[in-house]
Amino acid sequence: MINEYYKEMTGKGSVIREFFTYANARAAEIGKENIVNFSLGNPSVPTPQEFTDYMKELLENEDPVALHGYSPTLGKDSTREAIAASLNRRFGMNYGKEHIFPTTGAAGAIAHAVRCVVKEGDEVITFAPYFPEYNPYIEGAGAVLKVVPADIETFQINFDAFLEMMNEKVAAVLINSPNNPSGIVYSTETITRLADILREKQEEYGHEIFLLTDEPYREIVFAGTDSPFVSKFYDNSICCYSFSKSLSLPGERIGYVAVNPKAKDAEYIVPMCGQISRFTGHNCPPSIIQLAVEKVLDITSDLSIYERNADKLYRELTRIGYHIVKPGGTFYMFPRALTDDANEFCWRAAKELNLIIVPSDSFRVPGHFRISYCVTEDVVEQSIPLFEKLYEMYS
Amino acid sequence: MINEYYKEMTGKGSVIREFFTYANARAAEIGKENIVNFSLGNPSVPTPQEFTDYMKELLENEDPVALHGYSPTLGKDSTREAIAASLNRRFGMNYGKEHIFPTTGAAGAIAHAVRCVVKEGDEVITFAPYFPEYNPYIEGAGAVLKVVPADIETFQINFDAFLEMMNEKVAAVLINSPNNPSGIVYSTETITRLADILREKQEEYGHEIFLLTDEPYREIVFAGTDSPFVSKFYDNSICCYSFSKSLSLPGERIGYVAVNPKAKDAEYIVPMCGQISRFTGHNCPPSIIQLAVEKVLDITSDLSIYERNADKLYRELTRIGYHIVKPGGTFYMFPRALTDDANEFCWRAAKELNLIIVPSDSFRVPGHFRISYCVTEDVVEQSIPLFEKLYEMYS
């Protein structure tokens, strides 16, 4: 008999996916150019030419048996060394290759990191607004995800609510900065305070509390934004990274776990990831992609359009009257909806204006909507009168 | 605190890996050419030129944003359609794209398929000799793996022992044919009998028993060997495939789940795989590899060397006096060791002759050893006098 738990789940589509599907169906009816689609977080700029060139070079010059051969269980040594060296150079860290585990994107990274530091029944705390896929990662590790309500004035951490939620069962805290969906980057002040609290609570509870940092947007930070490298502030930390956004490679599934060398039992964590892989059937990211990424660790796609889009949308939407906490990075912003029911608000925008934005509820914040502005500048331009009309509809 | 269960595991290396590591260390001392290394199952022939050419074509001609963009949750439609069409053409099946779920190799395929058809506490039966990685796949799904002892005369299924082991808790049976490590292919007679028993037991127990078929060696079958397509014999079946061996792409992590269209609840299983992915962080095989494989579904690497190596080793080793059940496919054979203690036997071959073969115990059969003959014909040639000496050492 098929497993009822997963079967039940197949009926429940994600709300974001519903809006995306609606957008595609509408585009088929009235033409793609008549839909302003802000629903998905797919990079809109190409991968650097260097990546493409190096892929072709590998295919032309390498022995195919070696090139496409099994990756070692813990990933390719040269890739692991190159990632460690790049992080050390850029952030003054002290990673060795033994702290780096290449993964199939941030999804693979978080799925492994969580399993390393929790046991059945433990709690993991995260902060709203948050990426809804955290639920299955945490649940799949046998732990329980607890969500701290958002501070909607700043989208920094709501420390009072966090302190209320802390208890002895908390084995890990998972943060996402720069943040999907708010676009906010946690400040040095926020990270310092978080680290201080975690150290204090470790002492109080007599066990480690790991800080897992989900950082796929680390390279998309706008001018003037304070963007600390979190692992510098707290020893028991594991960085979960993806190249999906920085190199525009979401489909190629490449990222890594970087274990803080100062973490308790740091030397065990990567070998444990290797063991966890055997249970999930993960078995390393693709060999050729590991090798190709090695050569482009210190560069990114041309990400400047995201900042231009952010500036324009923020300027125009606040001019119209929307309330927005100004994003410091990513390609998202998270304005307040003009009514309490974000779901109704977004469906109205979709159905009456062909403007596709997604409601905030699945990020566990009511009354907001997410704009994914990984789109061309023309689309941003096209959206402004629509946002204007939407505002009028609620005035 | 880090998870003790996975931590404990990091201490325990696999025996195969121990021999492989020893071979590398010895090679560094005395030269690679002086070691005959039959330890690992890494394909030794290149991927077809068509694969390489098509990869380059994609990199040159496709829009990189689309090429490297997110794959849909259930895999690329064109890839799923092409896989279904190829299977239908070759095996007279009736798959639609809705029955195909692209995965990161057979590991990903089995990890998903098992989770679809078992619940906590169920039993899954497999047959010795078997691939030791089945343990974590099954355990990770919350089920218990039961192993039917081998019929060492034929390495077909030991049906008496199987029938004794069957009970109401059995939710799935997992077979691997052509088999690692024996090289044996289950005959039409074997598969027919297995299917008959499973149908009978389904009736008796009042629930489905799924047959999971692990088929990475499906395309490596030697002349004259009866090699039935298992899913034709039993409706509640899920085929788990990998291109690792047929296209020599083990590092690129590409395979699939193919759900028998006649299986109970067939329409749910692929969407369930999509849900399971969210828990394991799997998120589809790399986009570019999905696309490239589409074009080479009906061809393989030149696999003929495996059959030539099999013929030569079988002929020479049986001439010397070894007892071997003749392999019908793969690049493995599984002769009897010349003493009951296969581990001691293999270490002696390694240490006294620099001949690296691996003991049978971790495949759950005592007193045998595995030869992985995915090597050049020269290495096979070089091994014959060593096998001769090894035989003399035990005469």
pLDDT (tens digit, 9 = 90+) per residue, B164-173?
Answer: 999 999 999 9
Interface of B with A in 130-159 (CB under 8 A): 133, 136-137, 139-140
Return residues 47-106 of B near A (CB < 8 Å).
47, 52, 55-56, 59-60, 63-65, 67-71, 103-105
**Cβ pair A347, A341 in contact under 8 A:** no
What's the rounded Cα separation, in Å, for the pair A362 and A181?
10
Residue B338 distance to chain A (closest CA, Å): 32
Report the helix count and the strand count for chain B, using DSSP H and E: 14, 12
On the question of pLDDT at B259 being above 80, the answer is yes
Q: Which residues of B are less than 8 Å from A286 in CB distance? A: 251-253, 285-286, 289
Compare all CA atoms of chain B with the CA of A133 and give the residue at the minimum distance.
B278
- Write out residues 232-251 of B within 8 Å (CB-CB) of A: 248-251
Chain A residues within 8 A of B4 when measuring between CB atoms: 119
CA-nearest of A332, A296, A369 to A177 is A332
Is the Cβ of A371 closer than 8 Å to some Cβ of chain B? no
Q: Taking CB atoms and an 8 Å cutoff, what residues of chain A touch B289?
A: 286
- Lowest-confidence pick of A268-282, B197-211, B307-321: A268-282
Q: Do A3 and B42 touch (CB under 8 A)?
A: no
For residue A359, is the peptide bond before it cis, meaning its omega torsion is within 30 degrees of 0? no
Find the closest chain A residue to B211 by CA distance.
Answer: A1
Strand partners, A257: A101, A240
> pLDDT tier at B5 (50, 70, 90 boundaries)?
confident
Q: Which of A3, A250, A272 minimises the CB distance to B70?
A: A250
Q: Does B119 touch chain A (CB under 8 A)?
A: yes
Give the model's pLDDT for residue A11.
Answer: 77
Residue pair B250/A68 in contact (Cβ under 8 Å)? The answer is yes
Q: Determine, for residues B251 and A3 on separate chains, whether the beta-carbon distance falls below 8 Å.
A: no
Is the Cβ pair A10, B108 closer than 8 Å?
A: no
Q: Do A268 and B1 touch (CB under 8 A)?
A: no
CA distance B270 to chain A (A): 9
For residue B249, the chain A residue with the least C-alpha distance is A68
Contact of A283 with chain B, judged by CB distance below 8 Å, is answered with yes
What is the chain B residue with the closest CA to A211?
Answer: B1
Q: Which pLDDT score, from 0 to 100, does residue A97 have?
A: 97
Chain A, nearest residue to B117 by Cα: A2
Reading the block at residue A240, the tokens are 């979960």
Judging contacts by C-beta atoms under 8 Å, the chain A residues touching residue B117 are: 1-3
Contacts of A115 in chain B (CB under 8 A): 3, 6
Distance between terminal CA atoms of chain A?
A: 54
How many beta-carbon pairs below 8 A join chains A and B?
A: 231
Q: Which residue has the higher pLDDT, B42 or A218?
A: A218
CA nearest to A104 within chain B: B282
pLDDT exceeds cutoff 80 at B177 = yes
Q: Which of B69, B281, B285 sits opposite A107 (nearest CB)?
A: B281
Local structure of B45: helix, strand or coil? coil
Nearest Cα neighbor of B276 from B287, B267, B268 is B268
pLDDT at position B351 = 97
Whether A301 and chain B come into contact, CB under 8 Å, resolves to no
Under DSSP, the state recorded for B326 is: P
Residue B36 DSSP code? E
B44/A65 CB distance under 8 A: yes
Check if A118 contacts B (Cβ < 8 Å).
yes
What does the pLDDT read at residue A153?
98
For the segment B31-51, the average pLDDT, to the nearest whole number, is 95
Q: How far apart are CA A178 and CA B75, in angstroms?
A: 28
What stretches of chain B adopt beta strand conformation (E)? 36-37, 100-103, 123-127, 144-148, 170-176, 210-214, 237-242, 255-259, 332-333, 355-356, 358-359, 369-372
A282 vs B284: CB contact, 8 Å cut-off?
no
Residue B34 contacts A, CB cutoff 8 Å: no
Q: What are the phi and psi torsion angles at B97 (to 5°)?
A: -60, -25
Give residue for tokens 């218990």. Answer: B144
- Contact (CB, 8 A) for B134 and B110: yes
Q: What mean pLDDT is predicted for residues B188-207?
A: 98
CB < 8 Å to B283, chain A: 104-105, 107-108, 253
pLDDT at A65: 96
Q: What is the pLDDT of residue B223?
A: 97
The ipTM assigned to this model is 0.94
Q: Do A207 and B1 touch (CB under 8 A)?
A: yes
Residue B274 has pLDDT above 80, yes or no: yes
B385 touches chain A (CB under 8 A): no
Give pLDDT, residue B283: 81
Using a CB-CB cut-off of 8 Å, the residues of chain A touching B63 are 46
Would you say residue B333 has pLDDT above 90? yes
Task: Give yes or no for B271 touching A (CB within 8 A).
Answer: yes
Residue-wise burial string across A151-172, b where 16 or more C-beta atoms lie within 10 A, e elsewhere? bbeebbbbeeebeeebeeebbb
Chain A 309-348, residues with CB within 8 Å of chain B CB atoms: none
CA-based R_g, chain B, Å:
21
d(CA A157, CA A177): 11
Residue B16 is predicted with a pLDDT of 85
* pTM of this structure: 0.96
Q: Average pLDDT of B238-265?
A: 97
Give the pLDDT confidence score for residue A106 in this predicted structure.
94
Q: Which of B299, B300, B292, B306 is nearest to B252 (CA)?
A: B292
Inspect the interface and report whether the beta carbons of B10 and A110 lie closer than 8 Å: no
> pLDDT band at B116, cuts 50/70/90?
very high
Q: Which residues in chain A touch residue B272, judged by CB atoms under 8 angstroms apart?
A: 2-3, 6-7, 9-10
Q: What are phi and psi of A116, to 5 degrees?
A: -70, -30
Q: Which residue of A has its CA nearest to B12?
A: A275
Q: What is the pLDDT along chain A (395 residues), one digit of tens a residue?
A: 889 989 988 877 788 888 988 998 999 999 999 999 999 888 999 999 999 999 999 999 999 999 999 888 899 999 999 999 999 999 999 999 999 999 999 999 999 999 999 999 999 999 999 998 999 999 999 999 999 999 999 999 999 999 999 999 999 999 999 999 999 999 999 999 999 999 999 999 999 999 999 999 999 999 999 999 999 999 999 999 999 999 999 999 999 999 999 999 999 999 999 999 988 888 889 999 999 999 999 999 999 999 999 999 999 999 999 999 999 999 999 999 999 999 999 999 999 999 999 999 999 999 999 999 999 999 999 999 999 999 999 99
- Residue B11 confidence (pLDDT) above 80: no
